[in-house]
């Protein structure tokens, strides 16, 4: 297993990663569906970083798609995890001529032209299949990239098996404002060995996020949609993951 780079090298990598705002699921809207090739091309044209979601198909391929069920975003139905990658690549995205892409395909499209956040969606403790699919896809990828998840087991896996990959912990305090959250958040951060946080904008300012930021950890925030969100992010975060028109454009 390769050793993790020094703290200073990792800090430099994180600065390169968060140099631009990130388009949430690509720059979608105006006929472009989220996590589509068109949305990613639009984000590239806007000069934004890109955030996208991946899940594992039945045969272990990393597919770029957000929902666990196909119905909202495609002409298909059922759970994504029950279908093989070749089947999923024939499922048409709603209102589009596009189909569900693989992560390998989208990495080739982006080609290091923009910083990239890959959110891995795999609940529970059995995360190895998806993590390894992402590891394979990222082999020799040329640009700034990080793997992040709500699930701290994802970060734990990358810390153990692919420590060169930057790791992020995605956090929301929704339904976890009390003692439960005060216990779970530090444990999740410890377990994930995260290099940065991606925090729900609705929870900022947060004592937990603020404490980590005071220690030098970078805090990204999602999903920024308004001028009020941007003002809050400017005070309490280091970079934004946004929807709609790019802030400042």
d(CA 248, CA 245) in angstroms, rounded, equals: 9
User: For the segment 130-162, what is each residue's pLDDT rounded down to a tens digit?
Assistant: 999 999 999 999 999 999 999 999 999 999 999
- The pLDDT value given to residue 176: 87
CA distance 166 to 159: 9
> Does the structure show a pLDDT above 60 at 248?
no
What is the rounded average pLDDT of the residues 46-74? 97
Average pLDDT over the chain reads 95
Preceding amide of 223 cis, omega within 30:
yes
Which whole number is the average pLDDT over 78-101?
96
Query: What's the pLDDT score for residue 141?
Result: 96
Taking the domains of the chain in order of start, what are their residue ranges? 7-242
Which pLDDT tens digit goes with each residue over 190-206?
999 999 999 999 999 99
Q: Which residue, among 144, 124, 120, has the nearest Cα to 134 in the 3D structure?
A: 120
Query: How far apart are the C-alpha atoms of 65 and 203, rounded to whole Å?
Result: 25
Instruction: Return the pLDDT at 6.
Output: 84
User: What percentage of the chain has pLDDT greater than the value 90?
Assistant: 90
CA 14 to chain centre: 14
Give bridge partners of residue 186 from the DSSP assignment: none
Rounded Cα–Cα distance for residues 140 and 47 (Å): 23
The domain defined by 7-242 carries CATH number 3.20.20.190: yes
Cβ-based neighbour number of residue 76 at 10 Å? 19
């Amino acid at each position: 297993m390769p050793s993790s780079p020094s703290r200073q090298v990792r800090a430099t990598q994180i600065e390169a990663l968060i140099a631009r705002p990130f388009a949430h699921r690509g720059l979608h809207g105006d006929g472009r569906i989220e996590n589509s090739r068109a949305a990613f091309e639009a984000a590239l044209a806007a000069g934004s970083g890109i955030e996208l979601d991946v899940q594992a198909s039945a045969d272990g391929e990393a597919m770029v798609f957000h929902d666990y069920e196909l119905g909202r975003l495609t002409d298909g139905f059922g759970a994504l995890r029950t279908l093989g990658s070749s089947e999923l690549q024939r499922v048409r995205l709603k209102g589009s001529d596009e189909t569900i892409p693989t992560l390998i395909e989208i990495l080739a499209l982006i080609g290091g032209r923009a910083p990239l956040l890959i959110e891995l969606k795999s609940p529970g403790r059995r995360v190895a299949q998806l993590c390894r699919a992402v590891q394979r896809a990222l082999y020799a990828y040329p640009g700034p990239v990080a793997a992040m998840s709500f699930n701290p087991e994802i970060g734990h896996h990358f810390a153990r098996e692919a420590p060169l990959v930057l790791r992020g912990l995605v956090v929301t305090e929704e339904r976890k404002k009390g003692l439960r959250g005060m216990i779970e958040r530090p444990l999740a951060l410890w377990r994930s060995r995260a290099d940065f946080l991606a925090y729900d904008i609705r929870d900022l300012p947060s004592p937990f996020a603020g404490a980590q930021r005071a220690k030098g950890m970078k805090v990204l925030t999602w999903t920024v949609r308004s001028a009020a969100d941007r003002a809050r992010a400017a005070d309490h975060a280091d970079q934004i993951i946004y929807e709609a028109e790019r802030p400042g454009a």
